[in-house]
Amino acid sequence: MSAALSAAHGPSGPSGAVTGGDLRLENLTKHFGSFAAVDDVSLTVPQGSFFALLGASGCGKTTTLRMVSGLEDPTRGRIFLGETEVTDLKPYRRPVNTVFQNYALFPHLDIFENVAFGLRRRGVKDVKGPVERMLDLVELGHLARRKPAQLSGGQQQRVAVARALINQPQVLLLDEPLGALDLKLRRQMQIELKRIQTEVGLTFVHVTHDQEEAMTMADTIAVMNAGRIEQLGSPAELYENPVSTFVANFLGQSNLIAGTVEGKDGDVVVVDAQGQRLTLPAKRSRIDSGRIIAGVRPEKVHLARSEAEIPAGHNVLTGGVVSDASFIGVSTQYLVKMPWGAEAGCGEVAVFEQNTGREIQRPGTPVLLHWDPTQTFGLDGAQDIDAGSGIDDEATA
């Protein structure tokens, strides 16, 4: 634990009963009537890590968080902090604090007193030093005597974080804490929260439907879908090796093309994708026979006007025509219409080409698409190829 926190509270936590360790959920399930809001979730959040629960509205994130904090009783399953089971502990007995989207600050108290609240309630006499250290941590020492209404949204959110941290929880739960902020402030607060987490070294569990937010902040992301964990891993693992079409579409953008495995050649899987031959590394393919979905991220794909421009060994798709070209400064984002229907996956392939000064291809231009085959991933062809696409927009709207 950091100097800032241990100096604020001394070595023992508020309950004194539960010692540190990983947060572990075992087969956690919550039914509302016959509906499974959280369905058999098992996962471990390593102590001191920044963990994000990412998913669309209604997938069960908040319910999971409420079970960890003790505000909701699980229908089944167990919750551990280190070696100690906390499933049946009352909320105030758990070394867990929550920061909510609406801050829930006391409007009539100034910032200092808002942060001091938890200490005063526990009968701590000398609150000045710990509160000042907390306000320094969130860089609000100079505003200690203001009321919440006199602060910006981002500043109020930092007060909420300080007020939770001063209780010296082992785990800080953040339930869409940045949801009420505008985009620019949200980006600033993401960096700020990550800095605070690194400085205090506590376990943060952050719930969000914003995939960019999860990727920016978290060491580990669990992607939730319909009450279940779809995939868990580092942002890079999830992005480069999604296990399902849901993750491929929900986390960033993917070009997915339905095909059939033609065979395996050493460590390479050979695919017939709508009559075109693609290869991918066997270790990046979840399937080695039958129906497959080949995927590649837009920034990995390049445009060419002729075969001569394409490096040997690249995957090539022919028959494309540029349907849209948007110059956005750092890159040009293309859509390329392919000679197959949307049922085969992306009827239009997205290509993000870095701005290196190359001529921009206008709509209507016939192009070849190519990429390094090692950048291709392979998914089970029996899935809904569109799962997870468009969900984020709905949730954000």
Q: Which residues bind ligand ATP (CB under 6 A)?
A: 32, 37, 55, 57-63, 209
Taking the C-alpha atoms of residue 197 and residue 46, their distance in angstroms, rounded to an integer, is 14
Q: Which is nearer to ligand ATP, 30 or 370 (CB)?
A: 30
Torsion sign, CA atoms 112, 113, 116, 118: negative
Smallest distance, ligand ATP to C-beta of residue 52, A:
13
Q: What values do phi and psi take at 103, rounded to 5?
A: 65, -45
Which is closer to ligand ATP, CB of 59 or CB of 215?
59
CA distance 370 to 378: 17
Residue tagged 């445009």 (tokens): 303
Beta carbon nearer to ligand ATP, 54 or 269: 54
The position carrying tokens 């899935």 is 383
| CB-CB contact of 58 with 35 (8 Å) | no
- Strand, coil or helix: 145: coil
Question: Which tokens is 207 given?
Answer: 């719930």
64 vs 155, beta carbon nearer ligand ATP: 64
Q: Provide, rounded to whole angstroms, the least separation between the CB of residue 56 and ligand ATP.
A: 7
Q: Which is nearer to ligand ATP, 54 or 138 (CB)?
A: 54
Sequence-ordered list of residues with C-beta below 8 angstroms from that of 371, at least 6 positions apart, any chain: 296, 300, 301, 302, 314, 315
Tell me how far apart the alpha carbons of residues 368 and 345 are, in angstroms, rounded to a whole number: 18
Closest by CA to 355, choosing from 392, 373, 329, 319, is: 329
Shortest distance, position 205 Cβ to ligand ATP, whole Å: 13
When the beta carbons of 37 and 81 are compared against ligand ATP, the nearer one is 37
Tell me the closest approach of the beta carbon of residue 84 to ligand ATP, in angstroms. Answer: 25
Complex with ligand ATP: residue 60 or 169, whichever CB lies closer: 60
Closest to ligand ATP by CB, 55 or 295: 55
Burial state string for 125-144 with b = 16 or more CB within 10 A and e = fewer than 16 = eebeebbebbbebbebeebb
Residue 27 · residue 187 · CB < 8 Å = no
Least Å distance between CB 32 and ligand ATP? 3
Q: Which of 210, 353 has the CB closer to ligand ATP? A: 210
Close Cβ partners of 99 (under 8 Å, ≥ 6 residues apart): 157, 160, 161, 164, 172, 173, 174, 175, 177
Cβ 212 to ligand ATP, closest distance in Å?
16
| Minimum separation from the CB atom of position 258 to ligand ATP (A) | 30
Give the nearest distance from C-beta 63 to ligand ATP in angstroms. Answer: 3
- Residue 62 Cβ, how far from ligand ATP at the closest point, in Å? 3
| CA dist., res. 141 & res. 152, Å (int) | 15
Could you give the CA distance from residue 184 to residue 298 in angstroms, rounded to a whole number?
25
